[in-house]
């Protein structure tokens, strides 16, 4: 062979192919089905992995260079933020509660995404798909770690962040995001990427990540917003990957379409339910509001999402089943969620409060169809009670939806004054659901969802008390025993914002600094 003759200038695509898929080979000492054992049982048919289009032709040299540059800038700002007590620059100490929700509920999911993409980044038969997933895996580790480093400074001065790992795996409301990701990771690799890359990253990122980061920008949180900007280019790569994955699977075989459609129905609804926490953060927890949940849903859901599903119609894909219901609920979601957390403020690891006069007026303006009629009276009633020294704390445990694990707080789509209950029987046990869609998800895979570690059930079964606690003792206080098991700093991590240690410290430090 005349080797010199073959030395020619390669096109970018060809060069990238040599640097990725060219590395791969068909194994013969071990059968391919044993080397890649998990990509067949879901029923997805892939005929030709070479049809995979690399959405971003990123080689490791470019990746290191680009990411290293971003990290250098980010850590310079995190350092400056810590040195200058940047936390005192936020709009109001109430804002810090959104960071508690973030580190308790969202950062642990970044970590799970890291491990989940490591799994599919090893398992996909196609080399280029593996490389794309591997890059996302380390990106997600980046996000988990930089979030720890950003929030670390707040954790030194405020409550409700110090034991996020322990809480995420035990506390009642945190089983909502935890079970969401466990569900995706315990599914097959194709369902995982449809769930996370497509439904979560592509369809819902603008309703999850963006509201937190915009909230940080509006409320003077330089540390978090810098992280947000730094992660933005990673996120847009992940979204691009999400779209490529879905197109690739759909184009490979028509038999894939109904499977993918069912996953989209399921994962849109699972993701949307997790966003309940975000909706109340936007409408109730941000002292300076960015936009209402309803507006966000209209822009990022109805408009952008609508356009996306119009594009996918050519593959035979329709909008996820729960879409219409999400649109109906946009007037109610955040109010019902915040009212529930206000109720359970003794058992939550962030502070709750009734909206200020200014907040209430904003909510009336943003929610003309629902706030004044249904929700203002409720908050004003609680406000009145609190003024009389009778701040309401609910001490009974709520029933949870077996699928999304949210307390049964949502109302009927057709009647916002009536709680929605659904149920299914499976092997002589009864299971409860907050909605038709959660029931449908269960009914399709009951053997999976009967395994759910439902926090309320676990409490009643006696699995959420510290060793040595005697539930038969005459002075036994079950709620207090559960909060001890949670490792909550009782009186510091929980209760109303009014009178909290966070509130006092922020005011005092602010006064000294000014």
Partner 1 sequence: MHIDLKTVKINPLRQTFANVATRIGGDKAASRYQEATLGLQPDANFHYRPTWDPGYELFDPARTAIKMKDWYAFKDPRQFYYGNWTMTRARQQDAMESNFDFVESRGLDAALPAELKRTALNLLLPLRHVAWGANMNNFSICAYGYGTAITAPCSFHAMDQLGIAQYITRLGLLLVGPDALDAAKQAWLKLPEWQGLRHYVEDSFVEKDWFSLFVAQNFVLDGLLYPLIYDRIVDDHLAMNGGSAIAMLTAFMSEWNAEVTKWIDAQIKTAAAESAENRELISSWVRAYRDRVAAALLPIAGIALGDVAQEAVDEVLGQFNTRAAKLGLSV
Residues 187 to 226 in contact with partner 1, rule: CB under 8 A: 187-189
Q: Would you count residue 69 as binding partner 1 (CB under 8 A)?
A: yes
Q: Would you count residue 461 as binding partner 1 (CB under 8 A)?
A: no
Minimum distance of partner 1 from residue 41's CB (angstroms): 7
The stretch among 71-79, 257-265, 329-337, 416-424 that binds partner 1 (CB under 8 A) is 71-79
H-only helix segments in 188-345: 189-193, 205-218, 222-252, 256-280, 293-296, 306-312, 323-329, 333-343
Please name which of 203, 46, 34 lies closest in space to residue 129, comparing C-alpha atoms: 46
The stretch among 179-187, 216-224, 311-319, 412-420 that binds partner 1 (CB under 8 A) is 179-187
d(CA 130, CA 126): 6
d(CA 439, CA 428): 16
Nearer CB in complex with partner 1: 74/260: 74
Q: Would you count residue 509 as binding partner 1 (CB under 8 A)?
A: yes
Which residue, chain included where needed, has tokens 């779209």?
243
Q: In this chain, which of 94, 100, 168, 247 binds partner 1, going by CB under 8 A?
A: 168
Nearer CB in complex with partner 1: 76/369: 76
- Note the Cα 300 to chain centre separation in Å: 16
Q: Would you count residue 327 as binding partner 1 (CB under 8 A)?
A: no
Residues 476-505 that bind partner 1 (CB under 8 A): 487, 505
CB-based contact 354:382 (threshold 8 Å): yes
**Partners of 496 in beta bridges:** 352
Nearer CB in complex with partner 1: 46/374: 46
Please name which of 270, 397, 295 lies closest in space to residue 343, comparing C-alpha atoms: 397
Print the binding letters for residues 439-458 with partner 1: x by CB under 8 A, - otherwise. ---------xx-xxx----x
Residues 6+ positions from 177 with CB-CB distance below 8 Å: 105, 106, 108, 109, 168, 274, 277
Q: How many residues bind partner 1 (CB under 8 A)?
A: 98
Q: In this chain, which of 91, 152, 252, 327 binds partner 1, going by CB under 8 A?
A: 152
d(CA 106, CA 421): 28
Minimum distance of partner 1 from residue 204's CB (angstroms): 20
Nearer CB in complex with partner 1: 111/342: 111
CB-based contact 364:376 (threshold 8 Å): yes
Print the binding letters for residues 6-35 with partner 1: x by CB under 8 A, - otherwise. xxx-x---xx--xx--xxxx-xxxx---xx
Residues 6+ positions from 430 with CB-CB distance below 8 Å: 423, 424
d(CA 456, CA 160): 21
Minimum distance of partner 1 from residue 310's CB (angstroms): 32
Residues 225-264 that bind partner 1 (CB under 8 A): none
Print the binding letters for residues 109-148 with partner 1: x by CB under 8 A, - otherwise. --xx-xx--xx-xx-------xx--xx-xx--xx-xxx-x
Nearer CB in complex with partner 1: 25/473: 25
Q: Would you count residue 166 as binding partner 1 (CB under 8 A)?
A: yes
Q: Which stretch of DSSP H or E encloses residue 417?
A: strand 415-419
Minimum distance of partner 1 from residue 487's CB (angstroms): 7
Minimum distance of partner 1 from residue 261's CB (angstroms): 19
The stretch among 48-56, 180-188, 308-316, 381-389 that binds partner 1 (CB under 8 A) is 180-188
Q: Which stretch of DSSP H or E encloses residue 14?
A: helix 12-19
Characterize 3-21 residue by residue with b for buried, 16 or more Cβ atoms within 10 angstroms of its Cβ, and e for exposed: eeeeeeeeeeeeebbeebb
Q: Is 394 strand, coil or helix? A: coil
Minimum distance of partner 1 from residue 1's CB (angstroms): 7
The stretch among 61-69, 316-324, 374-382, 407-415 that binds partner 1 (CB under 8 A) is 61-69
Minimum distance of partner 1 from residue 404's CB (angstroms): 12
Count CB-CB contacts under 10 A for residue 137.
20
């Amino acid at each position: 062979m005349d080797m010199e003759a073959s030395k020619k200038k390669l096109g970018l695509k060809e060069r990238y192919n040599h640097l990725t898929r060219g590395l791969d080979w068909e194994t013969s000492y071990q059968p391919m089905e044993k080397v890649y054992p998990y990509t067949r049982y879901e029923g997805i048919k892939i005929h030709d992995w070479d049809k995979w289009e690399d959405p971003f032709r990123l080689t490791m040299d470019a990746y290191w260079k680009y990411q290293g540059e971003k990290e250098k800038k980010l850590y310079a700002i995190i350092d400056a933020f810590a040195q200058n007590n940047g936390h005192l620059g936020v709009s109001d100490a109430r804002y810090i509660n959104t960071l508690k929700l973030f580190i308790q509920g969202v950062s642990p999911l970044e970590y799970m995404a890291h491990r989940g993409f490591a799994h599919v980044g090893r398992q996909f038969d196609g080399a280029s798909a593996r490389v794309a997933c591997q890059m996302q895996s380390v990106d997600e580790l980046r996000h988990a770690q930089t979030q720890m480093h950003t929030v670390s400074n707040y954790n030194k001065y405020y409550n409700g962040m110090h034991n996020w790992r322990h809480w995420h795996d035990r506390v009642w409301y945190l089983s909502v995001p935890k079970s969401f990701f466990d569900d995706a990771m315990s599914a097959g690799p194709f369902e995982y990427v449809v769930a996370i890359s497509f439904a979560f990253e592509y369809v819902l990122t603008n309703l999850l990540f963006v509201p937190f980061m915009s909230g940080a920008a509006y409320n003077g949180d330089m540390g978090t917003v810098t992280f947000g900007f730094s992660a933005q280019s990673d996120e847009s790569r992940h979204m691009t990957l999400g779209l490529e994955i879905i197109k690739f699977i759909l184009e490979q075989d028509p038999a894939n379409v109904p499977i993918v459609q069912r996953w989209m129905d399921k994962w849109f609804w699972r993701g949307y339910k997790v966003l309940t926490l975000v909706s109340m953060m936007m409408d109730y927890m941000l002292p300076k509001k960015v936009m209402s949940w309803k507006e966000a849903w209209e822009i990022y859901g109805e408009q952008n999402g609508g356009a996306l599903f119009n594009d996918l119609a050519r593959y035979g894909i329709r909008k996820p089943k729960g879409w219409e219901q999400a649109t109906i609920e946009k007037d109610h979601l955040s109010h019902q969620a915040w009212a529930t957390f206000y109720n359970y403020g003794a058992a939550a690891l962030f502070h709750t409060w009734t909206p200020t006069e200014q907040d209430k007026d904003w909510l009336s303006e943003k929610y003309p169809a629902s706030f004044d009629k249904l929700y203002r009276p409720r908050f004003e009633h609680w406000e009145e009670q609190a003024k009389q020294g009778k701040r309401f704390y609910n001490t009974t445990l709520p029933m949870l939806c077996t699928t999304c694990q949210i307390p049964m707080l949502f109302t009927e789509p057709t009647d916002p004054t009536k709680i929605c209950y659904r149920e299914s029987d499976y092997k002589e046990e009864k299971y409860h659901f907050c909605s038709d869609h959660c029931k449908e998800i269960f009914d399709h895979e009951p053997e999976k969802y009967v395994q759910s570690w439902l926090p309320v059930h676990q409490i009643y079964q006696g699995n959420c008390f510290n060793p040595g606690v005697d539930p038969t003792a005459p002075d036994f206080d079950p709620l207090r025993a559960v909060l001890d098991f949670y490792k909550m700093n009782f009186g510091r991590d929980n209760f109303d914002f009014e009178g909290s240690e966070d509130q006092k410290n922020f005011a005092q430090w602010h006064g000294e600094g000014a």
